[in-house]
Structure formats: C-alpha cells, structure tokens
Amino acid sequence: MNPLLAKEWHPIKNGDLTADDVSLGSGKKVWWKCDKGDDHEWEARVHHRVNGIGCPICSNRKIVISNCLATLKPKLAKDWHPTKNGVLTTNDVGIGTAKKVWWKCDKGDDHEWKASVVKRSNGKGCPICSGHKLAKSTSFATLKPSIAKQWHPTKNGDLTPFDVSKGTHKKVWWKCDKGDDHVWEASVNNRYKGSGCAVCVNQVAVNSNCLATVYPELAEQWHPTKNGNLTQNDVTSGSNKKVWWKCPKGKDHEWETTVVHRTHSNTGCPYCFNPSSVPELRILSELRSIFTAVEHRVNIDGFEVDIYIPELKIGIEYDGKFWHQKKEKQDLIKNDALKEKIKLIRIRDKGLFAITEKDILQKTTKVTVETIKLILEKIYTLIKIESLETKNRINNYKNNKSWVASESFRKLYAAKNHIAFEDSVEYLYPEISKLWHPTKNEPLLPKYFSPGSNKKVWWKCDKGDDHEWETQINHLCLKNTGCSICANKKIVVSNSLTTLNPELAKEWHTTKNGDLNPEKVGPGSNKKVWWKCEKGGDHEWKTSVVHRTNGKGCPVCANKKIVVSNSLTTLNPELAKEWHSTKNGGLTTDEVGTGSNKKVWWKCSKGKDHEWEAIIVNRNKGIGCPICSNKKIIISNSLATTNPELAKQWHPTKNGQLTPYNVSLGSSKKVWWKCSKFNEHEWQSVIKNRKRGDGCTICSKHKIV
C-alpha cells in the first residue's frame, strides 16, 4: 500500500488488521484516521482510498465535532431552532450545507424562519430584524400601539396594523379620536416617523376645522361668486389659499388675500381700515424716542409723507402690500417730485420688490426692532448727522432687542379707535374682557380691538397673582386658548416643579442643566433634563420631568443604568476576572450589572480552552465553569484526552455519533466497549464505572459468551 495512505490507517479501530494485510484493490471497508484532527475518523473501502478519495471530514462530506456548525460558527449555532428541526442538531451539519433548516433569533419569540446553512454561514441574518419578513413583534401594531389605535376600522378592508411594517410607504386610512370626521389617508412610514392627524393640523378640511365652523364671522365675508365652486367648508382656517372676500360695509369692498392672513394676521377689509397705519404708528413711536421731532402724515408739495424727520429732512413711507402692489409707477412719481426737498426711504412690505436703492425690504408682514435698526442704518448712509446727542441715541438703540416706546405706541393706537363698539372684544366677549390686564396694556382697552385682532396684549387670570401672560387677542377670543399658566404652557413660580413637587426638585442636577432650574419647568414637562440621586456620586441620569413626576425613580438604584458603583467590576470583582477579554466585543465588566440577563463569554483560569457562554446573573448566583464541572465537554476534559488508554476500548461502530471526544471520564452514560485483546469481546458499561478500574467483563468472566 502507498506509504502515505498507510499512515492514515486507523491505529485502533481495525483491531489486528493492518495495512499490510490488504491489497490495493481490496473492497474491504476499514477505518481511517487523518492527521488534520483527532476526530477525523471514517470507514472507507481500500480501493476507494487508492483511487484518490480522501478524508470526508476535510472535504465536509462527513460531519464530526471539529467541522460541524456548532464548532465552526458557535454564534450562528445559537440561532438554531430548538424544536422545529426534529432530531437534527448543529453537530450534524457543516457550514457549507445547502440544506434548509429552521432558525430562531434571540431578538424575539416570533423571529423564526427557514434558510440554508450555507447562506447563514455567508452572513445572511434574521430577515425579520432586517425588515425583509414581517412578524407580529415587528409589525406596526406592536411597534406603535398608540398610533395603531388610529387605524381606520372599515376603510382599509381586511388589512390590519399587524399586516404592515413600520417602513412601508403604503397609504392607508386613519381615524383620530378628536372627532368623528377626523379621517385622512397617510403612509404607514410617515405615521411611524411622527406625522399626526392631518385634520388636527389643518392639512385636510372637514366640517369640524373648516373656516365656516372655526371662524363663522369671517366666513360671512366669503365672496358669493368670485371663488367658483370653492366654499368656506372646503378650506381650513390656516389655509394659504388666496380667495376673494366681500365686506358688508360697501358694495365695492372686494379684495383677494389668503385665508390664513384673515385668520392669523387679522388682515381686515383694506377699504375700511388701512393696515399700514399700525406699522406706521410703531415706526413713528420708536423714532420719536431717538429724534427730537418726528411728524406724522405731513404734506410736502401736495404729497402726504407717512413719517417725516424735519431736522434731517428724511421722509419714511411704509408701503403695505395691498395698497402698493402694482403701483410702482405712482410711487416713483412721488419719489421724483420730492427728491429736491427730502430724501425718501420706503419700507416695502413682504411680497413687494424694491423700486430704488434706498428701499428696505421686509422679510415678514410685521415691523420689528430690526426694521427700525435698518432705517437708522439707511439714514446714516444718506446724510451726515452732526448732533452728538442724536448719534448716541442711535447707537444706544442698536443694542436694543425689544421695543423701547411701547407705551407711546399704545397711546397712539388708542387714539386711533378704528372699530365700532359693537364689533369690539368688550362688546362681543365680555368674559374674556375681564381677563384684560389692568395695568400692563395702558392706555389700550378691549373696546379698541376686534376679536380677530392679532395684536399681542397682556392678560391676567384670577387663579393666581402670577397668572399673567401675553398673547394675541384672536387666540383668546377665537381659539379659546385660555390662561397659559393654568394650561401649563407658561411656567411661573406657582406652577413650577419647585412649588408643586419640592421633593423631586431636590434631585435636580445642579450643574448639568445650564441655566435651567426647577423653577422654570412644570411637573408635566416633556423636556429631558439631568437628575442626581443622593444614593451615590455617580447616580446621574437624563430623563423627562413628566417621567419623574409619574414615579420613575433612579435607574442606577434600580440597576437599569450601569455606572461604576453598581457595575460587575465593583460588586463582584472576583467574577469580573473571568470575563472573556476578546469574545465580548467592546463590552466590559464596567458596563454590566450583577443582575443582568445578558449572555456573555467567560474564561476560566483552569485551562486555555475553558471558555463558555453564560448569563451574568446566573454566574453571580454562584454557577461556575461548566468545563471544570464536566457539564460541558471539550477536547481538554473529554475521555479521549483524560484517559486515552481507556478511549482505545471505545466501540468503533455501536455508539453511533458518540465518540470519546463527546463524553467525560465521569459520565453516567452507558456505552459500548470493545476489548483491545479480543475483537469479539464487546460489552456495555457506564463510563464512570470504567474510570474506577472495571475492565473487560468477558475477560474477567463477569459475562459469559
């Protein structure tokens, strides 16, 4: 026989038969052993070996412990389904098999699927985790139960929230509990990302949120003919759609503007009330705080100038969009007529373009402090100011972030009472008028404003001395927003965390929240802030105020958050020494607690191959190395290693797949043995009994054959 082939002749399992006793063409089946591994043992006919058929374990045609899935891919082997593969185990298949088997991922009880072993070995993961397959645990209904409640009960047919994943772009019907007509269509993906009820946010018009319902007074001004088939029921109160309106005060009082401008910006009838007068009064009052004399509505050579500063010969015009749109030619004629007398600066409303280089373009529909600063900068570029006092006032104003002449503005506004009393807040909303702040709005009164005004004023509620807040008139009258402090939209001393939950406020972190303190947040706030528990210096964590208010305590004390003081390193340093240094990725003993249910790798100092996976809490309870206790069999504690002489008597065929590498010397398992002296001497005996010295029962005449 070929000497290289003869080297693979099994030294034990062929009994007295040797390689010299068989011919090259023999069809006899004998045992072979490859030097690539202790368990590379197999039976084959001699002539098959002579013809070049090699080790079936090396070529993965036969699966043993060393080339099985359990050995080569232990992490993957954990995904092997415990029940659905029958008697087939991870010890019975190799990593290259195309056989489809069942798998189970530890991320969920229903993460079960069928796939070939080779595909899993090549990196194919759980299709449920990756979203390629849907399970109950990954369905939209499970991941977003609160939103799934809004799934329309009838309009989606048989489709349920358990049938779709969070990432699907499929559009389905939803129903919000805020109203029977809050029904809309949206993709599941958009809902998962946080999009809410389209009716609540006025993206869809229904009966409950249409203009006719929310603003019935404005709806009465809807033009009866110029909007075609579009009605007040077809648009929301926040719509950006431009429509026609008709004022009852005059036959020719017709104009076009967006719905939202009517509802939110209080743009009334431009024929009854020129909206540019309010911005004019604001500019006038602020400039009077800077310059010695500022005049309003001055006639110069037959042209009326909105605001005039005589000492500088500077005129300022506020060009409201309604009155100045498509009137550039007339405005330029006025500029040209006055150019020899004064320098004219135009503040052009949002939506208008500049007609000269001196114009200032508004970015919003409101005059702001920044508008005044731009006017002052423009004045600087047009003329040289001689007065040092005026220069100082201009420079001081540039540092302001809020109005400096609010009282003056209110007096000017009060003097221009543009509305009839029967249209005022005082007449139409007497109860709301009682909330008008007694001092902070002087000299303004509720009788000066319509309920739709977007003017911000101060209010005072009788529920507390500090229940004072500022908001638009139309918010209170038409949207019924009520007291901001009672609704916890504004935090003052009386509704702060410090006042309402002083014990919890003591755990507020004193340094990590910047300028924020418990006097500035309410108990129901969703804001995430830092907390510090008195039980330990490192008991620090971040969570929302409302979670704390609802009883959520220190996560470090509850071992839900791991820090140095409650880590495995600190609480069980001896056990921490057995943490596997490489097989746990970046996870360390500083990052887990003693009560963790996480399964990790351990390494015992008793042997290099004493490595195993176990749950941390079980180890902390005293469960030791399974190799030392022979609960797990590896090469170093197997019968083949610890008693090789006894292993030679292992029966080569009658123990199935079980080998001396699968059992320990102390095993209670009953197996077959074969006497090394006489081939016909075969018997069954418990392994640990052989350890005590029991020999061949036939040789010792304990068994008669």
Measure the N-to-C terminal CA separation of the chain; round to a whole number of Å: 37
Kindly tell me if the per-residue pLDDT of 274 is higher than 70: no
Please check whether residue 156 is in contact with residue 173, taking contact to mean a CB–CB distance below 8 angstroms.
yes
pLDDT band, very low/low/confident/very high, at 221 (cuts 50, 70, 90)? very high
Residue 44 and residue 57 in contact, taking contact as beta carbons nearer than 8 Å: no
The partner residues of 254 in beta bridges, in order of sequence, read: 246
Query: CB of 592 within 8 A of CB of 616?
Result: yes
Tens digit of pLDDT for each residue in 117-137?
999 999 999 999 888 889 898
pLDDT band, very low/low/confident/very high, at 20 (cuts 50, 70, 90)? confident
Q: What is the residue whose two structure tokens read 């020129």? A: 274
Instruction: For residue 638, count CB atoms less than 10 angstroms from its CB and return exposed for 0-12, middle for 13-18, buried for 19 or more.
Output: buried
Q: Is 637 in a helix, a strand, or coil?
A: helix
Query: Is the model's pLDDT at 693 over the cut of 70?
Result: no
Summarised one tens digit per residue, pLDDT across range 664-673 is 998 889 999 9
Q: Which residues contact 550 (CB under 8 A, 6 or more apart)?
A: none
Q: What is the mean pLDDT of residues 648-652?
A: 92
State mean pLDDT over 635-645: 89
pLDDT single digits (tens) 598-636: 999 999 999 888 999 999 999 999 999 999 988 898 888
- Split at pLDDT 50, 70, 90, the class of 705 is very low
Q: In the predicted model, what is the mean pLDDT of the chain?
A: 90
Compute, in degrees rounded to 10, the torsion defined by CA atoms 325, 328, 329, 334: 110
Sheet with strand 360-361: strands edge to edge: 295-300, 303-309, 314-319, 343-348, 360-361
Smallest CA-to-CA distance from 49 within 15, 20, 23 is with: 23
**Residue 266 pLDDT:** 58
Neighbour-count burial of 5, counting CB atoms closer than 10 A to its CB (0-12 exposed, 13-18 middle, 19+ buried)? middle
Query: How many residues appear in the chain?
Result: 705
Whether this prediction's pTM lies above 0.85 is answered by no
DSSP 3-state of 626: coil
Percent of the chain past pLDDT 90, that is, above it, reads 61
- Show the tokens assigned to 610: 């004493």
Residues 248 and 420 sit within 8 Å (Cβ to Cβ): no
Residue 544 has pLDDT above 90, yes or no: yes
- What is the Cα 442 distance to its own chain's centre? 47
| CA separation, residue 315 to residues 310, 328, 361, 375, 420 (Å) | 9, 18, 16, 11, 32
How far apart CA 495 and CA 444 sit, in angstroms, is 29
Give long-range contacts, CB 8 A cutoff, 24+ apart: 439-447.
440/468, 441/410, 442/407, 442/410, 443/410, 443/411, 443/414, 444/410, 444/413, 444/414, 445/414, 447/417, 447/421
CA gap 440, 92 in Å, rounded: 85
pLDDT at 344: 96
Decide if pLDDT at 703 tops 80: no
Q: Which residue has the tokens 């991320």?
A: 107
Contacts of 419 (CB under 8 A, 6+ apart): 273, 448, 449, 450
Structure tokens at 260: 């939202």
pLDDT at res. 704 = 43
Percent of the chain with pLDDT over 70: 97
* Angle between helix 277-288 and 406-415 (nearest 10): 140
- Residue 570 confidence class, pLDDT cut points 50, 70, 90: very high
Per-residue CA distances from 458 to 281, 409, 444, 481, 483 (Å): 19, 15, 10, 14, 11
Give 160-214 pLDDT, tens digit per residue: 999 999 889 999 999 999 889 999 999 999 999 989 999 888 889 999 889 998 8
Q: Is the peptide bond before 127 cis (omega within 30 degrees of 0)?
A: no
Residue with tokens 């409302």: 546
DSSP letter string over 457-475?
Answer: EEEE-TT-TT-EEEEEHHH
- Quick check: helix, strand or coil at residue 263? helix
- What 3-state class would DSSP assign to 207? coil
Local confidence band at 287 (pLDDT 50, 70, 90 cut-offs): very high
Strand partners, 472: 456
Per-residue confidence (pLDDT) for residue 672, from 0 to 100: 94
Question: To which H or E segment does residue 135 belong?
Answer: none
